[in-house]
Each structure stands twice: as C-alpha cells, then as structure tokens.
Amino acid sequence: MSAPPSPNPALAVRLQEAARVMEQHFLDKQEIIRLLLISAVAGEHMVLVGPPGTAKSALVRLFARLVDAKYFEYLLTRFTEPNELFGPVDIRAFREGVYTRRTETMLPEAEIVFLDEIFKSNSAILNSLLTIVNERTFSNGSKQMKVPLLSMFAASNEVPNDDNLAAIFDRFLIRVVSDNLDSYHFHNLVAKGLATETAKITGRESELRPVVSARDIHELHRRFDAHMKFGEDFLSKYKGLIFQIRSEGISVSDRRVVKLLKLFAASAVVDGRQEPSDADFFILKHIWNNLDQTEILEEIVSPVVDRYYRDHPEERRFSAGGAGLDEILAELGLIRELLTSGAELSDIQLFSQLKNLNEIKAALQAVDNDTARRMTGEIDALLENLLASSKFG
C-alpha cells in the first residue's frame, strides 16, 4: 500500500484554531466541537439531540461564524412550506410558462446548513432534503442544480420514531447527544455564561472572524480520496468493533460502514496526521439509532480508545466527560471547603455533595495520572467523613 498523502498543515492549524475558539465559549463540549469539524472535513452530516438549552443551536452558529462560507439556518415546523427553505417561485418566469425558484440566499446555495427541529418537517420538504444530502443536487423546475453543501447540521429535542423519518435520520452519519452539564461544571458554566452574555451586550461578540475558508474545505473534498487509505491493523480493529456492535443488536449498514471511514480519515486531517489511529474510533460512540444504545456503544468503544491513550498519553485530546483536570480540581476545592467549614448542611445539601463527589471521582479516574490518583484518594477520605457523619448514620 502506498503511503498516505502528507496532510495540509496550514488547514489543520486553522481547524484546530476554530476548535480552540469554540472551546473558549462552550464548557464540556470538546467532543461535540471536534465532531462538527470532522463532519465538515468529511463532507458528512450530523444531528444533535437533547433538551432545550443545551447549546445545540449555539454550537452550530458559532461554528458557521468561524468558517467563511454561505450559511443558511431555519427552524422547521409541520407548517413550514418548501419556499421558506428552497426559495419562492419566480413569478416573472412562471408567467412565461417556466416553473423555477429563486434560490439566492436560500438553502440550495448554502455551504453550511443548520435545520432546527428537522424531524418536524413535512414530506414535501423531506424528499427535497434527501436529494440534497445524498446527491448534492436540487430539482429546480426542469433543471438540476448543483448544491455547494459542505455539511448539513440538524438539531432535535428527541429521536424520531416515525418510519417516515427513518430515511432522513439515516443520512446523518453522526448522532450526538447534547445534555445538561454535570454538577462539577457549575461554577465554570456560570462564569462562561456571564462572559458570553456580557459580550453580547457590549457588542464584542461581533469581533469574531472566520478562521477557515469554505474554499479550502471544498478543495480538500475534491482530493479526499487520497486520504482514504488505512493500515491492515486499523481495518482489523475496525472490523472487530463493527461486528461487536452488530452483535449487540445495533444496526450498522454496509453503506454506513464505508461512510464511517471518511470520518476516521477526516479526524486525522483535523489533527494534521497522515493516517487514522485507534483514538479516532471514538466516533463510533455516535452512530446510535436510539438513545438506549448510547451506553452500549460507550462500553464497546471506550476501552479501545482508553487503551490507546494509556499507550500514547501525549495525544489525549479530551478526558472522558470532557472536563479538564484544572476544572475538576477547582470544583473539588469548593466542595472540600464547604464540607470542612463547620457550616450546618441540610440532608438535601449533603446528598447533593455526595453525588458531586462521586461524579468528580469518576472524571478523575478517566484522567488517570498521578495528580488525578492523589485527588481520588482525597475524595475517598471526604466520602468516608461524609458517610460517617450523623446525617448518614
């Protein structure tokens, strides 16, 4: 097998800068941010599922601001009409017997598309969307328009269970759960939230400038076949993971098996690597068909990824749960101060801190270094004191 092509270091640096900027604005979203980048680089599509207020829309909007691309966004309902997405009928042409839409600034001419509540759309819209995401074409009257779409991103509060929506859901290769933050993120959540709101009030939010060019990503897509080369060891592990996933009753079609290879290659491109590694298998945690499968995929995939990071600790991109060590330790310090201050705490407060400590302990165990192990010992001591208190006696 010939050697993979040398990655484009300038593009990789710009992609990493986009990730860095986004991570400054969002807490505990490192993995989702990386998946946004991977989707765009691979030319594939991604849906975010989660309750309102979990930054689904905000993540995509900020990503779109960092990419110099034509952007289209719309909130769909069952009453949304095709002209709201694809453009109004050209009345002048219609009077001359020609049916065509005016697509300027509309979805068919966009490079990045975000559709909020996509699964509430009607069949007329869904049929056109399927052609766009599959073929990158749009039927505009008697003509087929070429669509310059890089990636389509979508959001929903729930996973669709209607058979009529199965086809469009299947086209989103990556499915990501965006949930509320754990308790040990609370103080940093408030701090980042205040900074974001202040930036909006003062107008500093408008200072953000694109760091990645859609033109460069289009050029990458045109020669992406050169990156679709994989070592035998990687493919052997991939085969094992796919058949283990299928054995658990999680459907992964042959078409998706091949498509996922594009995502592994894109992950390597984002890092400026020549070829994928076992760390890129984290993507397989996000190929679920329903939310019940997320834990199963986590149990299958995480040991492989964690094993790679144990052997290559310098390459760790984000810890399990997404929390940085400094962030975890800061929250632990606040809890320790509260529990050792001598202040009278209610039963509810004590149970809350017990939950917090167990969450932090799980996060530290995922980090797995000397500092994390030492702090885990301190947590065990705090838990022992907490459980020995009269409140739990």
Q: 41-50, 348-357, 373-382 — which one is most confidently predicted on average?
A: 41-50
What ranges do the domains of the chain cover? 1-69+150-316, 325-388
The predicted pLDDT at position 69 comes to 96
Task: Supply the DSSP symbol for 54.
Answer: S
CA dist., res. 126 & res. 274, Å (int):
38
Strands 143-146 and 137-140: antiparallel
Percent of the chain at pLDDT exceeding 90: 59
CB atoms within 10 A of CB 246: 12
Cβ-contact 11, 220 below 8 angstroms: yes
- From the list 154, 127, 134, 145, the residue with the least C-alpha distance to 43 is 134
- From the list 204, 192, 203, 86, the residue with the least C-alpha distance to 147 is 86
- CATH fold for the domain made of 1-69+150-316: Rossmann fold (3.40.50)
Q: pLDDT at residue 348 above 80?
A: no
Q: 244-248, 335-339, 362-366 — which one is most confidently predicted on average?
A: 244-248
Q: pLDDT at residue 27 above 90?
A: no
Q: 9-18, 53-62, 104-113, 381-390 — which one is most confidently predicted on average?
A: 104-113
Q: What is the mean pLDDT of residues 71-94?
A: 94
**Cα 168 from chain centroid (whole Å):** 18
State pLDDT tens for residues 206-239: 678 999 999 999 999 999 999 999 999 999 999 9
Phi-psi region of 159 (alpha: psi -120 to 50; beta: other; left: phi over 0): beta
25 — pLDDT class (breaks 50, 70, 90)? confident
State pLDDT tens for residues 267-308: 999 999 989 999 999 999 999 999 999 999 999 999 999 888
- From the list 144, 148, 130, 151, the residue with the least C-alpha distance to 37 is 151
Tallying the residues shown for the chain, one arrives at 393
- From the list 285, 50, 29, 35, the residue with the least C-alpha distance to 159 is 50
